[in-house]
Amino acid sequence: MTSPLLQIFARADLSFEKGEGAWLVTSDGERYLDFGAGIAVNALGHAHPHLVEALTTQAGKLWHTSNLFHIPEGERLAQRLVDASFADVVFFSNSGAEANEAAIKIARRYHFSNGHPDRYRIITFEGAFHGRTLATLAAGGQAKYLEGFGPKVEGFDQVPLGDMAALKAAIGPDTAALMIEPIQGEGGVREVPNAYLQELRALCDQHGILLIFDEIQTGIGRTGKLFAYENTGVTPDILAAAKGIGGGFPMGACLATSRAAKGMTYGSHGTTFGGNPLAMAVGNAVLDVVLAPGFLEDVERKGLLLKQRLASLIDRHPTMIAEIRGHGLMMGIKTRVPNTDFVTAARDQKIIVIGAGDNVVRLLPPLIVSDAEIAEAVDRLDATCAALESEQAAKAAPGAAL
Ligand SMILES: *Cc1c(COP(=O)(O)O)cnc(C)c1O
């Protein structure tokens, strides 16, 4: 099929007309259980009545004013994020990469304002994904994404995840910040041990380095806390959020302590669209639900339920599944077949799951998923394994299949 779209996505031959909660529906009425949620974006599922109401009400009033004026809904959303986190100040962007760009700029500017303009290097970790802008690509450090785009943006050093000696060796007088995902998402739902994060915090304090958490995937309730750092015993200085923060409306946020953000002054950063009234209305509506009493506790409980059910799949299909990993409603299945085959076979069973690095299949259901839908998902993944097993058996013994 020829398409006027820039051909950068290998899309499945499937499209949807509408969504309801944890379900996606095609134009001919076929229903898929959505355990991808738009890559952790549709945090409250599809067509959540409270979000639809907030969006349509605001759409009839005011969409955009520019940041030349106060935006009360944005002040309110920022205050709620501040009250619910370590942060003192918030910058709103339109995407994850932009939230990370803000984080990088805030960290560099902190040292600049302290009289150390040469202190601008950021240390990141192998397997990271921080976005597709030139700076966040350099931060992610993945050769396949950097290839052909000219010189890599200067000032990023990468060390193997978990290698404390390599990290200590990489820290120099020009190190401004460490930047890490508490659970690597695209990298394969790789959880960073709390002890390692605590060591990072101590190293940062010792050397006057800022700690940046990229919580674009882990944030906004995904792990059963508003932000995943709350599970770790570590508090960052700067945090990037996006994906679930708008429940499907494009937006991001960079949170920081006032100390870390002290270098940012009038004019030192900006955005045309970021923090517009429409986005802010939806962001507030997402928090109405996520911060309601009991909601996050229920996400935690459902995460455990999902993990237990998935663990039983290893026993039933040891030749298909090697490992279950993750936290809350951010789960990874390390498969023994190519994860792309698994994702396709799962789609045949009418469940959407998402590939990741390290041959992992990610499960990122909407946070409103029900216990019954979790059970249904695991049944469909069980059927996926069974279908792949009979395919393998038929390949191994072609005669027997005839
Ligand atoms: C998705 C993601 C990004 C990039 O977000 P965009 O909105 O695509 O720019 C950055 N970091 C992490 C951890 C992500 O999961």
* Per-residue pLDDT at 2: 86
42 occurs within a structural domain: no
Single-letter code of the amino acid located at 248: G
Q: Could you tell me if 176 and 304 lie in one domain?
A: no
Q: Could you tell me if 341 and 214 lie in one domain?
A: no
* Per-residue pLDDT at 103: 99
Q: Could you tell me if 127 and 261 lie in one domain?
A: yes
Q: Could you tell me if 23 and 167 lie in one domain?
A: no
Instruction: Give me the residues of the chain with pLDDT under 50, please.
Output: none
Half-sphere exposure of 165 (CA within 13 A, CB side): 0
* Per-residue pLDDT at 400: 59
CB atoms within 10 A of CB 157: 18
Report residues whose beta carbon is within 6 angstroms of any ligand 1 atom. Answer: 95-97, 100, 129-131, 181, 185-186, 214, 216-217, 242-243
- For residues 174 and 119, the answer to whether their CB atoms sit within 8 Å is yes
- Ligand 1 mutation target, pool 95, 180, 213, 216, most atoms within 8 A of CB: 216
Q: Could you tell me if 127 and 217 lie in one domain?
A: yes
Helices (H), 208-317: 277-290, 295-316
Domain end point (choices 260, 290, 320): 290
Give dist(CA 218, CA 19) in Å, integer. Answer: 23
Q: How many domains does the chain have?
A: 2
279 occurs within a structural domain: yes
Atom of ligand 1 nearest to the CA of 181: 13
Q: Could you tell me if 262 and 182 lie in one domain?
A: yes
Q: Could you tell me if 137 and 182 lie in one domain?
A: yes
* Per-residue pLDDT at 398: 72
Residue bearing tokens 């200067």: 154
338 occurs within a structural domain: yes
161 occurs within a structural domain: yes
CATH of the domain at 189: 3.40.640.10
39 occurs within a structural domain: no
Write the pLDDT tens digit of every residue in 140-152: 999 999 999 999 9
Q: Could you tell me if 181 and 286 lie in one domain?
A: yes
Q: Could you tell me if 196 and 152 lie in one domain?
A: yes
Domain end point (choices 266, 290, 314): 290
Give dist(CA 275, CA 12) in Å, integer. Answer: 33
* Per-residue pLDDT at 193: 97
- How far away, in angstroms, is 240 Cα from ligand 1 center? 9
Half-sphere exposure of 363 (CA within 13 A, CB side): 30
Atom of ligand 1 nearest to the CA of 250: 7
Residues with Cβ within 8 Å of 362's Cβ and at least 6 positions away in sequence, in order, are 36, 185, 189, 330, 331, 332, 353, 354, 355, 356
- How far away, in angstroms, is 96 Cα from ligand 1 center? 5
181 occurs within a structural domain: yes
In 3D space, the residue among 333, 305, 308, 303 whose CA is nearest the CA of residue 318 turns out to be: 333
Q: Could you tell me if 286 and 306 lie in one domain?
A: no
Q: Could you tell me if 112 and 154 lie in one domain?
A: yes
- How far away, in angstroms, is 372 Cα from ligand 1 center? 30
State the residue range of the domain holding 23. 18-34+294-396
With 0-12 / 13-18 / 19 or more C-beta atoms within 10 angstroms meaning exposed / middle / buried, residue 366 is buried
* Per-residue pLDDT at 397: 84
Q: Could you tell me if 224 and 365 lie in one domain?
A: no
44 occurs within a structural domain: no
10 occurs within a structural domain: no
Domain end point (choices 233, 260, 290): 290
